[in-house]
């Protein structure tokens, strides 16, 4: 008869069938996903995202410094008795105050581009036509909100809080399966940028106002970087923004999207049509192309790219063109743009068509649409509106 297990030595006890003691050490987390922690491309994406973020910050700081120095050196001060052309009867004001002589040219070799405020730039120009007056006029906002850095701080805070709760809404809807994950991601893509652009008039006419505004998407970019790199755990945000549910995906398209917002805000701002067109084509164009293409794109593929549809490309052109036209109409009415929506419509249609064609190419998958679309829009728009 075999001896009792209690009287057997440990080696014999294990051979007799007793379960050996579990090895000591830290127990693995039940929610740890080895694919996320040991993904071969996750570390590379983190490094690339950090490098791009640093480059974007440097470009915005340099552009803000250039605006401040050129505005102080070369922007002519408004003469006494000459209106700033912010709203009111433009024809009567032009008749009462004739156009003054143009400002003298700067010395040879000096920068010729002036990045001064809309009021200072237009103090020596003919009054542009006004389609809308009242509270949409920039002068009304200046009188109501002031024109200092406190206004910029308040506007940036309000925009950041609004953007956070806007994205958080879709985070919750996706986590509760009210919205499909892919649809939630594209709705955020389509609406977040325009929501942010509509807050630009809240900022002052200071040369540094664009830097305060650019801080809003920069904060969101830092949040996405922290979640995508694993520094912050936010499964709701991962479900709402990612394609397949991996947190490393946040360092791709969503992170690039916020960096494009930073660049267009800090570099182009409110008085450049090409910057507004770039954001409109990236948000309203590319976002609607995916939403419409997934639902109406079956049975009508493009001849040169079977993965793209006629319905999706039509939605991209119409959505991007319509949104860019709306942006131009708004900022022209407020006095930030000299060109009206009617004058810009033809050129904006060309820009929208070029971006739609670039997005539909078979090789477009090698470059993220959040890079190719705004790049084409900014380059072509800059050439057409100069």
Same structural domain, 281 and 222: no
Same structural domain, 291 and 242: no
Q: What is the pLDDT of residues 209-218, one digit of tens each?
A: 999 999 999 9
How high is the pLDDT of residue 357?
94
* pLDDT band at residue 362 using 50, 70 and 90 as cut-offs: confident
Phi then psi dihedrals of residue 307, to 5 deg: -80, -10
Asked if pLDDT for residue 127 goes beyond 50, the answer is: no
Q: Are 198 and 140 in contact (CB under 8 A)?
A: no
Nearest Cα neighbor of 341 from 132, 191, 198 is 132
% of the chain residues with pLDDT over 70: 62
How high is the pLDDT of residue 137?
64
* Boundary-marking domain end, from 270, 305, 325: 270
How high is the pLDDT of residue 244?
76
The mean pLDDT of 311-322, rounded to a whole number, is 96
Same structural domain, 282 and 219: no
**Does residue 26 fall inside a structural domain?**
no
Q: DSSP letter at 306? A: E
Which residues span the domain enclosing 282? 272-386
CA distance 120 to 124: 8
Same structural domain, 169 and 247: yes
CA distance 293 to 326: 23
Same structural domain, 51 and 199: yes
**Does residue 9 fall inside a structural domain?**
no
Same structural domain, 309 and 254: no
Same structural domain, 156 and 290: no
* Boundary-marking domain end, from 250, 270, 290: 270
Nearest Cα neighbor of 300 from 321, 318, 315 is 315
**Does residue 25 fall inside a structural domain?**
no
Q: Are 88 and 140 in contact (CB under 8 A)?
A: no
Greater confidence (145 vs 191) lies with: 191
CA distances for 257 relative to 220, 278, 336, 349, 363, angstroms: 10, 11, 25, 23, 20
**Does residue 213 fall inside a structural domain?**
yes
Nearest Cα neighbor of 261 from 288, 223, 290, 221 is 221
């Amino acid at each position: 008869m075999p001896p009792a297990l209690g009287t057997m030595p440990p080696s014999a006890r294990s051979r007799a069938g007793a379960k050996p003691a579990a090895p000591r050490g830290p127990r693995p987390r039940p929610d740890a996903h080895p694919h996320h922690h040991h993904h071969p491309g996750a570390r590379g994406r983190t490094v690339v995202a950090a490098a791009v973020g640093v480059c974007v910050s440097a470009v915005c700081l340099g552009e803000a410094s250039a605006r401040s120095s050129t505005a102080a050196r070369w922007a002519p001060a408004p003469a006494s008795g000459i209106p700033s052309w912010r709203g009111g009867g433009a024809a009567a004001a032009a008749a009462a105050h004739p156009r003054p002589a143009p400002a003298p040219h700067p010395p040879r070799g000096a920068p010729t581009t002036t990045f001064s405020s809309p009021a200072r730039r237009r103090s020596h120009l003919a009054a542009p036509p006004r389609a809308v007056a009242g509270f949409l006029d920039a002068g009304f906002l200046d009188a109501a909100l002031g024109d200092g850095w406190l206004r910029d701080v308040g506007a940036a805070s309000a925009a950041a809080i609004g953007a956070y709760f806007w994205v958080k809404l879709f985070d919750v809807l996706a986590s509760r399966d009210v919205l499909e994950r892919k649809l939630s991601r594209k709705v955020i893509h389509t609406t977040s940028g325009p929501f942010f652009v509509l807050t630009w008039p809240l900022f002052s006419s200071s040369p540094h106002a664009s830097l305060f505004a650019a801080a809003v998407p920069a904060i969101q970019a830092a949040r996405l970087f922290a979640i995508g790199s694993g520094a912050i755990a936010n499964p709701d945000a991962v479900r709402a923004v990612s394609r397949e549910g991996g947190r490393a995906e946040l360092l791709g398209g969503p992170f690039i999207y916020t960096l494009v917002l930073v660049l267009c805000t800090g570099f182009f701002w409110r008085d450049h049509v090409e910057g507004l067109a770039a954001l409109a084509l990236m948000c309203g164009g590319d976002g609607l192309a995916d939403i419409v293409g997934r639902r109406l794109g079956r049975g009508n593929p493009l001849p040169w790219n079977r993965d793209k549809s006629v319905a999706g490309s039509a939605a991209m052109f119409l959505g991007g063109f319509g949104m860019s036209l709306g942006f131009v109409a708004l900022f022209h009415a407020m006095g930030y743009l000299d060109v009206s929506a009617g004058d810009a419509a033809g050129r904006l249609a060309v820009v929208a068509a070029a971006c739609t064609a670039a997005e539909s190419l078979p090789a477009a998958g090698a470059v993220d649409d959040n890079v190719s679309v705004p790049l084409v829009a900014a380059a072509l728009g800059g050439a057409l509106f100069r």
